[in-house]
Amino acid sequence: MNAAQSHKLSMKDKIKVAIVGAGKTGRGFVARFAKQGNAELAFIDSSEELVKMINEDRGYTIHFFGGGRGPIRIDGVRAAMAGSDLAIDWMADADLIFTAVGESNLINLAVPLLEAMKRRSELHKRRPVYVVTCENGVNPGKALMDAWTAAGGNPEILIVAEAAIFCSSVEMPGTRLDIQSESYDELPYDSHVLPEAYRLPGMVPEPRFRELLQRKIYTYNCLSACIAYLGALKGYEMYADAAADPDICTVLEQVLEPLNRALSAKMNLPLRSQEDFARRALRKFQDPSIRDDISRNARDVPRKLGPKERLIAPAKIIEEAGGDCAALALAAAAALHYRGPDESDLHDLLNKYGVEEGLCKISGLATSDAFLLRVSRYYRALHERNRGEAISFEKLLDIVGD
């Protein structure tokens, strides 16, 4: 434990919490822990419209999928524009800062946090500030900490811990701020970094957190990507409908069999434990009461095809273990076909360089890599099918060879 972590927060103090990112995860999930801890809560967001609505309404309701649990009301909240003097003041005064902005956006927090810590020093506050990243990424804490130190920040006064998000939340149709969320009330976090005194109710200390986060990305997020991109190709809009499609389920089974074995060996986990972990993920994704959509889960294809991300990294782990990653190659090919509203850069890249070189630039794989070449073959098979022809992924797995 470093010197900064030796400072203790009295449990008699009312904890001040700032949540950077007032979207679905920040507003619909992370805010619950602040409420349970009776913390003073403030949101920081880059959307002027969202900040305005929060300050006008000063509260909102979290509803739960399936109707088996009563709603939770979050009241007395306030919001500030990211980068504003008010946001800097709130971060300077906070005991805990949560982020829910997406891993790729974390580097943008370094300079505002630097300003906030300078202001905190002027206020003669001696306790360090703990930032808890609530992002779907392999190593979001490192991304933020690297940006913080590169900006000249002192790692003794701002300490970054990571948390893992297993809860799905979406905006409630027909409301200004309400959220629909999964009834899931645990936030696992890195207990080696965040002291017990800063733990809010519902936050679960995890001593093997790095392993848990990687396992989540390579299981939950891997399956999520497969379902989203294969589902999009089949014309599904709702996520659970795609997850229950028999043809897609066949692909998922062929992903999981070698993946579970490879992760079990790599992470020194009992195979049964990893299989149960994966089954829980599938049950969640196939739950029709969780009204999530394909577009939310499929967006940002280039990031999700990154070298340490949810499709490429599991494929490499399977290959290292001697397993077959054909099903993952098909899912990656489906990702390259995704035509979401924000994927124009991806398709410009593919049009300019072709699928092999384009995927090489995104994934970090060599153009001669066996997995990349297999993705390319599936990509072309999908491209060459007759327009309007029904897709059989099971058939494609059988006919597209090595």
Say yes or no: 260 and 193 in one domain: no
Residue 1 confidence (pLDDT) above 70: no
Q: What is the pLDDT of residue 176?
A: 97
Residues 378-391 have pLDDT tens digits of 999 998 875 556 78
Say yes or no: 176 and 219 in one domain: no
Mean pLDDT of the region 245-260: 96
Residue 291 confidence (pLDDT) above 70: yes
- Six-digit token string for 200: 């809010």
Q: How many CB atoms lie within 10 A of CB 198?
A: 22
Mean pLDDT score across all residues of the chain: 92
Q: What is the pLDDT of residue 3?
A: 37
Say yes or no: 242 and 375 in one domain: yes
Distance from C-alpha of 80 to C-alpha of 287, rounded to nearest angstrom: 36
Say yes or no: 240 and 172 in one domain: no
Residue 11's pLDDT band (cuts 50, 70, 90): very low
For residue 165, give Cα distances in angstroms to 100, 204, 214, 312: 10, 12, 12, 21
Cα within 13 Å of Cα(304), Cβ side: 28
Conformation bin of residue 21: beta by default, left when phi > 0, alpha when psi is -120 to 50: left
163 with 216: CB under 8 angstroms?
no
Domain count, the chain: 2
Residues 318-330 have pLDDT tens digits of 999 999 999 999 9
In terms of Cα–Cα distance, which of 39, 44, 195 is closest to 129?
Answer: 195
Say yes or no: 128 and 219 in one domain: no
Last residue of a domain, one of 157, 175, 207: 207
CATH number, domain containing residue 312: 1.10.1040.10
Residues 119-159 have pLDDT tens digits of 998 877 778 899 999 998 888 999 999 999 999 998 889 99
Say yes or no: 248 and 143 in one domain: no
Residue 12 confidence (pLDDT) above 90: no
Last residue of a domain, one of 173, 207, 241: 207
Q: What is the pLDDT of residue 9?
A: 52
Least confident of 28-32, 62-66, 270-274, 383-387: 383-387
Distance from C-alpha of 222 to C-alpha of 292, rounded to nearest angstrom: 17
Say yes or no: 300 and 355 in one domain: yes
Q: What is the pLDDT of residue 402?
A: 55
Residues 324-358 have pLDDT tens digits of 999 999 999 999 999 888 888 999 999 999 999 99
- Six-digit token string for 402: 């090595």
Residues 29-62 have pLDDT tens digits of 999 999 999 999 999 999 999 999 999 999 999 9
Say yes or no: 269 and 375 in one domain: yes
Residues 151-200 have pLDDT tens digits of 999 888 999 999 999 999 999 999 999 999 999 999 999 999 999 999 99
For the chain, what percent of residues have pLDDT higher than 90? 83
Q: What is the pLDDT of residue 397?
A: 86
Per-residue H/E/C for the chain: CCCHHHCCCCCCCCCEEEEECCCHHHHHHHHHHHHHCCCEEEEEECCHHHHHHHHHHCEEEEEEHHHCCCCEEEECCEEEECCCHHHHHHHHHCCEEEECCCHHHHHHHHHHHHHHHHHHHHCCCCCCEEEEEECCCCCHHHHHHHHHHHCCCCCCCEEEEEECCCCCEEECCCCCCCEEECCCCCEEEECCCCCHHHCCCCEEEECCHHHHHHHHHHHHHHHHHHHHHHHHHCCCCEHHHHHCCHHHHHHHHHHHHHHHHHHHHHCCCCHHHHHHHHHHHHHHHCCCCCCCEHHHHHCCHHHHCCCCCCCHHHHHHHHHCCCCCHHHHHHHHHHHHCCCCCCHHHHHHHHHHHHHHHHHHHHCCCCCCHHHHHHHHHHHHHHHCCCCCCCCHHHHHHHCCC
Say yes or no: 172 and 245 in one domain: no
Residue 71 confidence (pLDDT) above 50: yes
Say yes or no: 191 and 216 in one domain: no
Distance from C-alpha of 184 to C-alpha of 39, rounded to nearest angstrom: 20
Residues 202-232 have pLDDT tens digits of 999 999 999 999 999 999 999 999 999 999 9
234 with 245: CB under 8 angstroms?
yes
- Angle, helix 370-384 to helix 344-363, in steps of 10 degrees: 150
CATH number, domain containing residue 75: 3.40.50.720
Say yes or no: 68 and 197 in one domain: yes
Q: What is the pLDDT of residue 21?
A: 97
Distance from C-alpha of 362 to C-alpha of 150, rounded to nearest angstrom: 25
Q: What is the pLDDT of residue 6?
A: 41
Widest CA span of the chain, in angstroms? 69
Say yes or no: 167 and 260 in one domain: no
- Angle, helix 246-266 to helix 271-285, in steps of 10 degrees: 150
**What domain range includes position 360?**
211-399
Last residue of a domain, one of 179, 207, 235: 207
Q: What is the pLDDT of residue 388?
A: 56
